[in-house]
Structure 1
Amino acid sequence: MAMLENGPVATLLLVDDEENILNSLRRVLRHEPYRLLLATSGEAALDVFEQQPVDLVISDARMPGMDGASLLATIQRRRPECLRILLTGYADIGTTVKAINEGQIYRYISKPWEDDELRLIIRQALAFQNSERERERLEQLTRQQNAALQELNSTLEERIQSRTAELEETADMLDLAYAELRRSYVTATEVFANLVNQRLSKDRQTNTQVVALIKGYAEHYGLDERTSNDLAMAAALYNLGKLTWDDRLLAMPSDVLYKEDRARYREYPQLGESLLMALEPVQNASSLIRHHQERWDGNGFPDKLEGEAIPFGSRLLKLAVDFIELQRGMILERRLNRDEALLLQKKFAGRLYDPELCTRFMEVCTTLAPDLALADASILILDTRRVEPGMVLARNLHAENGMLLLNEGKALTQPLINKLIAFESSEGARYTLFVRKPDATAQVGILK
């Protein structure tokens, strides 16, 4: 038995019953980086094999006792990863076949061998063995990693589901909070609009009626809450830009304005937008205000938008504003009644107004009572002495001076009704309330 000294990279077991053959093999491999183990019989080779780690066995086919095929078959059963090469003569065909079938040998080499060929075969065998070992190592690593990933995935899915549920719950809460905040902004906007109206004469305080019209349209056609809120805020503040005007300009119908006055009039939509731009919750509403004097034919202001390039909310707001202002004498020198205003708007559909939207708007106006309440069977029109506790306001309630008293959705209680009656007496007024019965309110809540 012998060993090479310069850092062997593989251990080879050479088996032959003839010493001169073993010496020849050792001579051929003396400059190769292998650790060489020698045995002169099959039995001796098995003893060495059990005591030493062996990477490759080269065995002669014909040996007394255990022949090479039997030896290699035994090694294959005990340690199949150890490579096996058979040295055979031309007359050993039977042994070779046995070695191939039972020992599953890597190669067989005929005697006499070519030294270079023998060295090349051994290198190739060891390279194949190393690649197989690396493949098995990577497969094992992959199996371990897959197992770890499966375990991680199973717990990760649970964590993701739990976290997703938490995020969904948080998102729902934020949505509700944001929706409530937007509704609060709508109410605050209407209160602010009523304060602004104190700058205007009573016959020029149009915001309340425009808001009621817009809400009536939104309810009739089932607009989503966000759009409805934006429209309501735009309706409440559409004339904000007029507050810079003097009393003379405020009192003049828009169609008789001339030169500088007309130029100032055409600036009020963008001025209203600029006053609201710093308030994030009314950004959409401010854009609707900017464009509510655009015309369907493109001859409006301030940007001469045409057709559907005009935002939907601005087209609707123009219809509502003109409908109210025509009846207040704010556009033409004479005041039109309700029917005259509708006929005039119908006449200018396709020029001033979106024709399809104009048709829908007039349909809503014809289903509204003169005081702009929807002709809805679930809404009752009552005075303060006929309302009952538990009823809910279907429309905002304003005082005679235009101040908002109670906002839509407010549930009436007996103390609140008593206060309204007392306030009526002190103001010398009579309030008309638009309310829903408690059962109708419950149904609306369910539908929402």
Structure 2
Amino acid sequence: MNQSAIASTTTTATLLCVDDEPNILSALRRLFRSSGYRVLTAESGSLGLEILEREPVDLVISDMRMPVMDGARFLAQVRRRWPDTLRVLLTGYSDIGAIQDAINCGEIYRYITKPWEDHDIVLLVRHGLERRQLEMEKGRLEALTARQNEELKALNQSLEAKVEARTRQLRAEHNATVAANNKLKQNFVTTIKILSSMIELRAHNQPGHARLVADLSRQIALALGLEARESQDVFIAALLHDIGKIGFDDKLLATPLTQLHGEALGQFRKHPVRAAELLMPLEELRGSAAILRSQLERFDGTGFPEGTAGLAIPVGARILAVAADYYNLQQGAMVQRHLRPEGARSLIVGASGTRYDPNVVAAFRQIVEGGGKGDTTGVELLSGELLPGMVLARDLVSRDGLMLLSADHVLDARMIQQVQDFETKSARRLSIWVRPPRNTG
């Protein structure tokens, strides 16, 4: 509060003068009214208390020597009942003991001796009121600060609670998004596997041919240290490596590669380009499309469609060429007779550096000669041994090549019952590979 505001407040203050001598009261009334104060008077302490009960008073000036109730007792009651009212003692004699009582009991602001100097008493009152106003303002500001601090504390607590609640909400939304994204990825791969099974039905391959090629391709990719995205592209390309043959007639599909000539051979050599064109519209499959386009390229540069050589051929295509040919040789798709695994392996090793990438062949040999199972971990169980919460380690495929459930599917009681019913109706036992139940703690 500035000085002008204090001066305005003090000049409109209300004073109460208490004295048993009327002439003293008249003198005080004239003096303070001329200074702009509102002045009330009482000729005894009891009358002064009555006025205080009716009127708000800023400052009391009381004479010390009064009958019945002296100034010390009067001011003591004022202090007890109206502690914010400033108290001044007016005394006309040098009674140190009485002044001490007034100071101790009434906690007076100042005492003035009679006769007084007008200028001094007016200045004393003005300073006292200014001090009172400052103390009241200080108290108001302290109360305001305390209240605002409490409000700020409550606001901070509210904000912290809101932030915590929002954080929990965002975390839940993030977890839900991650779960949904993982589910979409799983469904995406499952859809590719279903499409691969449909292609096999048209291509006259043995049931599960594409999955064998895909599993071997992924194992080679892991052995060569390819990143997860590259390995995924290789795996999907292997599942769909025959998609470009979808328009072939039955005769062309049934003819081994070494028996194809002329127009039929030319049509066969175009299937990688057609496969890439089918997949190019899908952003997620463009890496796999590039692999499929180059699957018939040879390491020595005599392949199709561009005659790309060596490391210029996408690494996924170099891997797919080895994995696909390994099983095609066993199934009679490349030569008239069906080779045994060791015979197919021998031909691939013999073509290292010409048809195939030597590094890919080395990784291939390490896998097939070491009997590795790559990432097909798990144990094989009977359907009656399945428990809810177990996770499929491999795709669940029927003897006819129909994919019933994809790998990583979490089994529940209803699904286990359906698997058991399928075995009963088909009279054939399924090959069920599972991992232990997932930890949900």
**TM-score of the superposed pair, with normalisation by structure 2:** 0.56
Query: Structure 2: how far apart are the matches of 1:355 and 1:208?
Result: 24
Alignment of 1:16-415 (within 5 A): 181-203=184-206, 206-218=209-221, 223-368=226-371, 373-374=373-374, 379-415=378-414
- 1:426–1:200 Cα change, 3 Å: farther
Residue aligned with 1:435, SS: strand
Query: Structure 1: how far apart are the matches of 2:375 and 2:233?
Result: 24
Aligned residue pair count: 274
Query: For residues 287-334 of structure 1, what are the alpha-carbon distances to aligned partners after superposition, in whole Å with 9 as ceiling and x for unaligned?
Result: 110001111111111111111101111111111110111100000111
Query: For residues 177-212 of structure 1, what are the alpha-carbon distances to aligned partners after superposition, in whole Å with 9 as ceiling and x for unaligned?
Result: 666544432221111111222223253862122122
Further displaced range: 355-364 or 175-184: 175-184
Tell me the CA shift for residue 277 of structure 1. 1.5
Query: For residues 123-172 of structure 1, what are the alpha-carbon distances to aligned partners after superposition, in whole Å with 9 as ceiling and x for unaligned?
Result: xxxxxxxxxxxxxxxxxxxxxxxxxxxxxxxxxxxxxxx9xx9xx99999
- 1:219–1:431 Cα change, 3 Å: farther
Tell me the CA shift for residue 221 of structure 1. 5.9
| Larger of the two Rg values belongs to structure | 2
Residue aligned with 1:395, SS: coil
Q: Which residue number in structure 2 is paired with residue 116 of structure 1?
A: none
For the 8 Å contact 1:288–1:311, the answer to whether it is kept is yes
For the 8 Å contact 1:183–1:229, the answer to whether it is kept is no
Query: For residues 355-408 of structure 1, what are the alpha-carbon distances to aligned partners after superposition, in whole Å with 9 as ceiling and x for unaligned?
Result: 011111221223447xxx4487x5212332333333211111112222211111
Query: For residues 44-78 of structure 1, what are the alpha-carbon distances to aligned partners after superposition, in whole Å with 9 as ceiling and x for unaligned?
Result: xxxxxxxxxxxxxxxxxxxxxxxxxxxxxxxxxxx
- 1:350–1:197 Cα change, 3 Å: same
**Which letter maps to 2:253?**
L
Query: Structure 2: how far apart are the matches of 1:204 and 1:245?
Result: 19
Q: CA RMSD in A?
A: 3.1
- 1:431–1:221 Cα change, 3 Å: farther
Tell me the CA shift for residue 412 of structure 1. 2.1
Further displaced range: 322-331 or 209-218: 209-218
- 1:266–1:435 Cα change, 3 Å: same
- For structure 2, which runs of at least 5 residues remain unmatched after alignment? 1-162
Query: Structure 2: how far apart are the matches of 1:173 and 1:414?
Result: 24
Identity %: 30
- 1:287–1:397 Cα change, 3 Å: same
- For structure 1, which runs of at least 5 residues remain unmatched after alignment? 1-161
